[in-house]
A and B are shown apart, each in its own frame.
Chain A
Amino acid sequence: MLMSRPVAEGPGQAPGLASGQAMSEIVRSPGYWATVWRRVLRDPVAVGAALVILAIVLIAILAPYIAPQDPYKGMTLRRLRPPGTEGFPLGTDELGRDMLSRLIFGARLSLFMGVTPVILALFLGSAIGIAAGYAGGWVNSILMRTIDVFFAFPSVLLAIALSGALGAGVLNGLISLTVVFIPPIARVAESVTTSVRSRDYVEAARASGAGPLTIVRVQVLGNVMGPIFVYGMSLVAVSMILASGLSFLGLGVKPPEPEWGLMLNTLRTAIYTQPLLCALPGVMIFVTSISFNMLTDGLRSAMDIKA
């Protein structure tokens, strides 16, 4: 439902010469990725988003060192304290555990559950897509028609169906989400590979004796990586929301682990007594996913790919 259909993107185009370059000077024109990198650095929104993501990643890595309290240790006497309570800057949850520490530790599982499926799907999906696109013929038909079947499910429904059948748990959540993201990535990879396959330079490589593996590695991967990477990046925001959504439903991460979606779920009962407290985990999910979306947008326009 959140996922927009992937748009087939052409192979990465070589950027023009840097503007203002004197004709007489013989300067090696900067590479494609160097140009993209420079353009992203000039986009304040993208840089800001990247910094926010970096901060969240650092919080996740350094959680044991920066969390003021044990995120698992609760005390019934101090349940549901509002933010600003002495010793508990963001209050305590329904079991009296320190909210700030749980939010800090929650970054670990939430990021892991959001990012891992996309990375796994990037590998598996591109492998399937490139294989289908490069092989063509009946291999393509079999692979892509199978992909079509999974694509025929709305993404949230497929994730719920799989993790509902498999049951709760981190691993089952990861499997379900990976399956959800493979089809769109495979489609993008397939369409780019198909368009690259018949290019003259691939013909030339083949004529000069390059085997299929070499052609895929050099000619195809070089062109496919850019669009797929950006597309994968745009899926991270969706994946974060979906992964937390699974935990919010009671699928995915199980208590007492700190995870933002699960925290939203368990705090839901306190919505009338401590509304501000209940809203906090959602703020974290929101900030993370909007940062990923803005970074992707910046990267897209730097790479000149239409949304």
Chain B
Amino acid sequence: MLTYTVKRVVYTLPIMLGVTLVCFMLVHLAPGDPLVSVLPPDASQAMKEQMMVLYGFDRPYHEQFLRWLWRALHGDLGASIASSRPVVAEVSKAVGNTLVLASVATLIGFVLGTFFGFVAGYFRDTAIDKLASFVSVIGVSVPHYWLGMILVIVFAATLGWLPPTGAGPGGSEAWTWDWEHTRHLILPAVTMSVIPMGIIARTVRALVAEILSQEFIVGLRAKGLSHLGTFRHVVKNTAPTALAVMGIQLGYLLGGSILIETVFSWPGTGALLNAAIFQRDLPLLQGTILVLALFFVVLNLAVDVVQTALDPRIERR
């Protein structure tokens, strides 16, 4: 197991390097001068050149990349152009809020998804299966930003039960687990949970249907094991894959929270990205994307290692 883990980690390192390279290139992909948002429009040529040297844009790309990487490894992702605060500080403030939202959404999605998946798999090809499968198709087909708007219309604008936007009373940006904050979490988290719900339900349905058709289940039933007893076996066989899908989904939600955060004005990494894009704050854009992408890589690695540890059927090569 240890050898396997080490192997997986070693395999992940070049991918991480590649991810940093892509993030580095983002700035150079942007049209126009990378300094365009820093300099006043009437800046003189001499001032421009001075700034180019200051930011290191006059050096060859590989040198720029290595310098940037070296600083990034030491926790320095540069300063935001708009706020001139360090990018690391901005991202770490926002990432907590997104993590709260994404984890709660994943949890809701997992609970509902496994429920619908089990029901559909157990009653395969019946009306119940059709209904449960339909719910999961809705989950993967609904434009979630639109669903968010609908929920705001119904529960905030019409019924007035829940606040429409924000993460806490009075535009609070620091998350705490009290009722006032949780009230703000309900709508965005439910909206976000629809995607993992649909995907997990589809995965679990396929798994359950496959396991139920296997001979050992027939054998267990033949020897007189109760329904609950066989159910336990089905759960045990489904769990590693379902948990792995849940882990990956958490990563997808963290990286893809921008649409929902925009609808609900949630002060997380999505809102940060949104601001970075429209203020052409390239260091902030680059830094936020780097942190989220690396988080996704590490999460994938962790899921893979944990799944291999949990599931004795997977070969540990």
Contacts and interface: CB of A to CB of B under 8 A. Distances in A.
A245 B263 CA distance: 11
Contacts of B199: 2, 4
B143 A286 contact: yes
Nearest to B244: A5
Q: Per DSSP, are chain A's interface residues mostly helix, strand or loop, or mixed?
A: helix
A161 B289 contact: yes
Contacts of B203: 4
A279 B296 contact: no
B72 interface: no
B259 A149 contact: no
A306 interface: yes
B27 to A, nearest CB: 7
A154 B19 contact: no
B248 A285 contact: no
Contacts, number: 156
A2 B197 CA distance: 11
A165 B278 contact: no
Interface in B234-288: 248-249, 251-256, 258-259, 262-263, 273-274, 276-278, 282, 285
A154 B274 contact: no
B29 A165 contact: yes
B149 interface: yes
Interface stretch (B81-89, B152-160, B225-233): B152-160
B22 interface: yes
Contact of A149 (B19, B251, B273): B19
B256 A249 contact: no
Residue among B138, B258, B297 with max Cβ neighbours from chain A (10 Å):
B258
Given A286-B141, A297-B137, A307-B202, A154 B296 contact: yes
A89 interface: no
A152 B18 contact: yes
Nearest to A289: B141
B252 A307 contact: no
Given A152-B15, A164-B285, A307-B206, A245 B157 contact: no
Given A154-B296, A264-B145, A307-B206, A165 B14 contact: no
Contact of A271 (B22, B142, B157, B296): B157
Contact of A1 (B145, B158, B256): B256
B30 interface: yes
Most buried by A among B18, B140, B203, B262: B140
Most buried by B among A150, A166, A241, A292: A241
B262 A249 contact: yes
Interface string A134-159: 00000000000110111011111100
Interface of A: 1-5, 145-146, 148-150, 152-157, 160-162, 164-167, 237, 241, 244-245, 248-251, 261, 264, 268, 271-272, 275, 278-279, 281-282, 285-286, 289-290, 292-294, 297, 306-307
Interface of B: 14-16, 18-19, 21-23, 26-27, 29-31, 137-138, 140-147, 149-150, 152-153, 157-158, 195, 199, 202-203, 206, 248-249, 251-256, 258-259, 262-263, 273-274, 276-278, 282, 285, 289, 292-293, 296-297, 300
14 contacts: A1-B252, A146-B18, A148-B15, A149-B21, A153-B296, A156-B256, A157-B255, A165-B27, A166-B31, A237-B141, A249-B274, A286-B146, A290-B138, A294-B137
